[in-house]
A and B are shown apart, each in its own frame.
Chain A
Amino acid sequence: MSNTQDPSALLNQRSSRSGRTNYELYSWLFMRISGIILVFLVLGHLFIMNILDGGVQRINFGFVAGRWSSPFWQVWDLLQLWLAMLHGGNGLRTIINDYAERDSTRLWLKGILYTTVVFIILLGTLVIFTFDPNLS
Chain B
Amino acid sequence: MWSWVAHRITGVAVFFFLFVHVLDTALVRVSPDAYDRVIATYKTPLVNFLEVGLVGAVLYHALNGIRLILVDFWSKGPKYQRAMLWVIVLLWFVVMVPGIYFMTKHTFEQLFGTAP
Report which A residues bind B (CB closer than 8 A): 1-2, 5, 7, 32, 35-36, 38-39, 42-43, 46, 50-51, 54-57, 59-62, 64, 81, 84-85, 88-89, 91-92, 95, 116, 120, 123-124, 126-127, 130-132, 135-136
What's the nearest-Cβ distance from chain B to residue A113, in Å? Answer: 10
Given contacts A2-B4, A120-B19, 10 further A-B contacts (CB under 8 A): A50-B103, A61-B33, A61-B35, A88-B15, A91-B11, A92-B12, A124-B22, A130-B29, A135-B28, A135-B31
Docked complex Cα distance between A59 and B18 (Å): 17
Majority SS at the chain A contact face: helix
Docked complex Cα distance between A120 and B26 (Å): 10
Q: Which residue from chain A places its CB closest to the CB of B17 in the assembled complex? A: A88
Q: Is the CB of B22 within 8 A of A51?
A: no
Which residues of B lie under 8 Å from residue A36 when comparing CB positions?
66, 69
Q: Is the CB of A5 within 8 A of B72?
A: yes
What's the nearest-Cβ distance from chain A to residue B55, in Å? Answer: 5
Docked complex Cα distance between A42 and B65 (Å): 13
Chain B, residues 12-38, CB within 8 Å of chain A (1/0): the string is 101100110011011011011101100
